[in-house]
Homo-oligomer: A and B are copies of this chain.
Amino acid sequence: MKKYIIIPVFLIVQFLSAFAQEQQIKLETIAPGVIKMTMGKPDQFSPYQFCAEQPRIEEMAGLSSKELPFDLKSVRIIKNNRGIQVSLPLTSDEQLYGFGMQIGSFEQRGLKKKPIVNDAPVFVNNNPLANIGYTHAPQPFYVSTRGYGVLINTSRFVTFLCGTNEEKQDLNTGDKNQNKLKFSTDQLYQNQPQETWNMWIDIPNTEGVEILFFQGEDIKECVQRYNLFSGGGAMPPLWGLGIKYRVKGDYTQDKVMKMASYFRDNNIPCDVLGLEPGWHTKAYSCSYVWSDKFPKPQEMIDNLNKENFRLNLWEHAYVNPAAPFFNEMKPYSGNFLVWRGLVPDFVNPKARQIFADYHDKELIGKGIASFKLDECDAGNMMDATSTWGFPEMSQFPSGIDGEQMRQLFGYLYTKTLFEAYKKRNQRTWMDYRASYLFSSSLPAVIYSDNYGHNEYISQVSTSSFGGILWSPELRDAASDADMVRRLQTALLSSQVVINAWYLEHVPWYQINTEKNNKNMQSESYPKLENIVRQLFQQRMALIPYLYSAFADYHFKGIPPFRALIMDYPNDEKVRSISNQYMVGQNLMATPATADSTTRKVYFPEGDWYDLYSEKQYQGGKSYKIEFPMDQLPLFAKAGSIIPLAEPLNYIANDAVFNITCKVFGNKPSSFALWEDDGTSFDFEKGNFNQINLSVEGGKGTVKKDGKYDGKRYVVNEWNFVK
């Protein structure tokens, strides 16, 4: 825990259990609305100590002070030879969410979850719901509809039984359903959780535990508290909200420049170009040195920058003997290699420094805007043939073992590079493939090799409970419709990525990989490209709105893309909806897949408008809707002001947005555009403006407040939709 939070212990309670050793349980309020319960000697490598930013205490104090809905005395902690077990009460009407970015399951009550970092979810019998919780960004943290969050501050592998198992002491012998004979194994083994069963948490191999309880009126506020406790949500550079395109892994300098020209010549928005492994002299493991495919890298960087492209470089953290800092890193790395490369002990500040210094001097200092941090999640734990990554039994000089490092590695790696950028007062927006607790303030977005479109959509919702940003990137597609639908989803996320790492041409030139690489243009090419351009432009029009949503993420802890349950905590119908989500304050996204021509959309209370067609829908009802290919599936709340920009092709540092305010329905709430220099951390010193948009007397008004002296937005037009 941060040392400066000196809030006195206000309660010491002793618990006894038939099996437990007698142990002191200590309670402490460590930040407004965050209670820490400690027993025994907690994990030496508990995650919060590594949090990249300080908690935003003041903003946390501004949230409601609603108490936890249960008595902390009802929490049982057992300590024995196995480790620690914790039990918490659940009530009958309670639903649980969280455990980080989950792939498959959304409502977690009645499930067994093991939030462990893994490069792939494990779908038993191909059933995503059955996924135990292995993902790129898992967390031992859940939130409840009753308004509280529970977090186990450990890097050990934890199991949560979310009301799945009955205790002997609760045995009620009056059960009536016991003697029905069953004739299929599905019937025999179906899960029938009862409402009286507790949450049970298993933390093996530890001598103590630290549990954090997050208070809140509802899930949204608990999540806000968690995000603020983690330093507040990350603020992207403005260009980070544009489009990123990753070129083929063997592209040369010339080909990269040609791809850049393609975007500009064809008036297709693009902000970032990403290079894949081929830029290294050695990759798998990495040398971090320009290969001969890039004879004049500085020239390329400069020319791209001139055209307002930012350059992103792929890497992973496994250090090849050809890396210039290999020998320096050797003593600060684990005892196992990965792809014959060193595994830096990022717990050790010295390892972080060696890694960051090299990157700072050779890459960031020379104009590299961001990195893609691959394979920091390690191979599939459940696949006997997947053995890349360091084993859980690895040992690192700092004393951390491979199990703990598996949970923390992606986080620490990303933090290492984030700190290098921050030292330069330069914002970045990275791709990373593994995260864990307290990562809200990391300027990085999770991506995945998994590719189920339905799961990609629901991952936006599941990520939001744990301060994780998720990038449902476009790679290959089974059909033109599949490509367009996936692209729409990608465009409605925290980072838009077209990841064409194995394609010679853009995917909309030809979706078939083999044909694409044989330069065989598809018949749909010009038509598809037009749709792509249009969709890209719709994203670019949203950037001012999204930037405000990220300001809310940073200052209030509100996830910019989030599950409906956060905004409609009292609507029972949204509890199970994971394929629609809120975008910023007033928009709801409802991505469609190529599976059917229409999809069901549920509208929570209040009226709603299609952002583009302006068609109106009634709240509290479901509709079957067919979404056009060339428009994003977005709905605006009645009573809202949505600022839309004239789409730019890229966000230059001095970009100015011409804004049209769309006003939906009557009595619109005001909306605050947020502006700053878009690239530095000066906003942390108050160097930003809020531009208040409101309707007064039927007329739009604009009021500016703040001390940033630039001008980012010009409001040209007000468009009233009734």
Interface residues of A (CB under 8 A from B): 18-19, 44, 78, 80-83, 85, 104-105, 110-113, 120, 122, 124-127, 129-133, 159, 161, 164-169, 171-173, 175, 178-179, 181-185, 188-191, 193, 200, 202, 204-205, 249-250, 277-278, 281-285, 320-321, 330, 333-337, 339-340, 342, 379-388, 390-393, 395, 399, 401, 403, 449, 501-502
Identify which of B81, B179, B204, B284 contacts A178 (C-beta below 8 A).
B284
B178 and A340 within 8 A (CB): yes
Q: Which residues of B lie under 8 Å from residue A173 when comparing CB positions?
A: 321
Q: Which residues of B lie under 8 Å from residue A335 when comparing CB positions?
A: 18-19, 167-169
22 A-B residue pairings within 8 Å (CB atoms): A80-B395, A80-B401, A111-B387, A112-B383, A126-B126, A159-B393, A161-B387, A165-B387, A167-B336, A169-B335, A171-B340, A178-B282, A178-B283, A178-B339, A178-B340, A183-B502, A190-B385, A193-B387, A200-B391, A200-B393, A202-B393, A382-B382
B320 and A189 within 8 A (CB): no
B382 and A122 within 8 A (CB): yes
Give 19 A-B pairs besides A129-B384, A129-B385, A193-B387 with Cβ atoms closer than 8 angstroms.
Answer: A18-B335, A111-B384, A112-B386, A112-B387, A127-B383, A130-B383, A132-B381, A133-B384, A161-B391, A165-B390, A165-B391, A166-B340, A171-B321, A178-B285, A178-B320, A178-B339, A183-B501, A200-B391, A204-B392
Rounded to whole Å, the gap between the CB of A614 and the closest CB of chain B is 42
B132 and A384 within 8 A (CB): yes
A188 and B284 within 8 A (CB): yes
A165 and B385 within 8 A (CB): no
Assembled-state Cα–Cα distance A391/B124 (Å): 19
Q: Which residues of B lie under 8 Å from residue A184 when comparing CB positions?
A: 502
Assembled-state Cα–Cα distance A291/B403 (Å): 50
CB-CB nearest in chain B for A163: B387
Q: Which residues of B lie under 8 Å from residue A501 when comparing CB positions?
A: 183
Number of copies: 2
Q: Which residues of B lie under 8 Å from residue A283 when comparing CB positions?
A: 178-179, 181
Q: Which residues of B lie under 8 Å from residue A169 when comparing CB positions?
A: 335
Q: Which residues of B lie under 8 Å from residue A383 when comparing CB positions?
A: 112, 124-125, 127, 130, 132
Rounded to whole Å, the gap between the CB of A631 and the closest CB of chain B is 32
CB-CB nearest in chain B for A85: B393
Rounded to whole Å, the gap between the CB of A573 and the closest CB of chain B is 23
CB-CB nearest in chain B for A404: B82
A334 and B168 contact, Cβ closer than 8 Å, known pairs A130-B384, A284-B188:
yes
CB-CB nearest in chain B for A336: B165
Rounded to whole Å, the gap between the CB of A125 and the closest CB of chain B is 8
Assembled-state Cα–Cα distance A44/B80 (Å): 13
Identify which of B85, B385, B393 contacts A191 (C-beta below 8 A).
B385
CB-CB nearest in chain B for A84: B393
Q: Which residues of B lie under 8 Å from residue A334 when comparing CB positions?
A: 168
Assembled-state Cα–Cα distance A254/B193 (Å): 37
Assembled-state Cα–Cα distance A462/B80 (Å): 36
A336 and B168 within 8 A (CB): yes
Assembled-state Cα–Cα distance A260/B466 (Å): 61
Assembled-state Cα–Cα distance A133/B124 (Å): 15
Q: Which residues of B lie under 8 Å from residue A278 when comparing CB positions?
A: 181
Assembled-state Cα–Cα distance A272/B105 (Å): 45
